[in-house]
């Protein structure tokens, strides 16, 4: 459902369920009003996500607080899997926390490219449509973003 991915998009950008809900609501409303500008034959999802993404960015910018994304509890993430040792689980959580923080510190353009490609699992073309840039720009933003994360996070972190 577009509603699900729209909310996920808005939440990953704002870090707040309330802001995300507002972003999706006003984004859908804007999409509805602008449906006449939607070009037939073009995929609908990136067009809608671009509007929602924009709403979410505006809300994040205007919000005084910086919400941080949280990780789910380790046991929720591994239904049915063999549980790692407590030490391994702690290390894994630390690494993930550090990774998430590093993504959060990226400049907005790079962060949104990472969110689209890796957290929303959009293809390069779709990411480009959502962000309103060329595919080459997506590639360079991702490359610079990943480079920055690598510098912040040593392999053994």
Partner 1 sequence: MRDLERELRELSSAIMVPPTPDLAGAAHIRLGATRPAASWPRRPVVLALVVAIVLVAGLAVSPARTAILRFFGIGAVQIEFVDRLPAVEPSVPLALGNKIDPSKAPFPILRSDLLGDPDAVYARGEVVTLLYGSPDRVRLLVTEIGHSVLAPELAKKIVAATTNTRFVDIPGSTGPGIWIEGAPHIVVLADAPPRLVGNTLVWVQEGRTLRIEGAAELDDALRIAKSMR
CB of 61 to partner 1, least distance (A): 21
C-alpha 117/C-alpha 135 separation (Å) is 12
Contact 117, 127 (CB under 8 A): yes
C-alpha 94/C-alpha 74 separation (Å) is 11
**Applying CB under 8 A, does 36 fall inside the site for partner 1?**
yes
Q: Would you say 114 or 138 has its CB closer to partner 1?
A: 114
Closest among 71, 136, 148, 70 to 108, alpha carbons compared = 148
Among 13, 23, 24, 112, which residue sits at the site for partner 1 (rule: CB under 8 A)?
24
**Applying CB under 8 A, does 7 fall inside the site for partner 1?**
yes
Closest among 147, 76, 64 to 110, alpha carbons compared = 147
Among 89, 91, 133, 146, which residue sits at the site for partner 1 (rule: CB under 8 A)?
146
Using alpha carbons only, give the angle 94, 65, 72 rounded to the nearest 5 degrees.
30
Single out the segment in contact with partner 1 by CB under 8 A; choices: 36-44, 59-67, 82-90, 129-137.
36-44
Among 35, 83, 88, 125, which residue sits at the site for partner 1 (rule: CB under 8 A)?
35
Distance of alpha carbon 7 from its chain centroid, rounded?
A: 11
Binding site for partner 1 (CB under 8 A): 1-4, 6-8, 11-12, 17, 20-21, 24-25, 28-29, 31-33, 35-36, 40, 44-45, 48, 69-72, 77, 95-96, 99-100, 103, 114, 118-121, 146, 149-150, 155
């Amino acid at each position: 459902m577009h509603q699900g991915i729209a909310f996920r998009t808005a939440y990953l950008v704002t870090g707040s369920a309330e802001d995300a809900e507002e972003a999706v609501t006003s984004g859908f409303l804007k999409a509805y009003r602008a449906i006449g500008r939607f070009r037939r034959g073009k995929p609908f999802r990136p067009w809608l996500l671009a509007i929602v993404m924009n709403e979410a960015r505006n809300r994040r910018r205007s919000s005084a607080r910086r919400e941080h994304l949280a990780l789910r509890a380790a046991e929720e993430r591994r239904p049915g899997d063999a549980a790692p040792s407590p030490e391994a689980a702690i290390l894994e959580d630390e690494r993930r926390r550090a990774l998430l923080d590093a993504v959060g510190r990226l400049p907005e353009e790079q962060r949104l490219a990472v969110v689209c490609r890796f957290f929303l699992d959009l293809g390069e073309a779709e990411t480009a449509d959502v962000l309103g840039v060329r595919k080459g720009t997506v590639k360079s933003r991702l490359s610079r973003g990943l480079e920055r994360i690598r510098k912040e996070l040593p392999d053994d972190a």
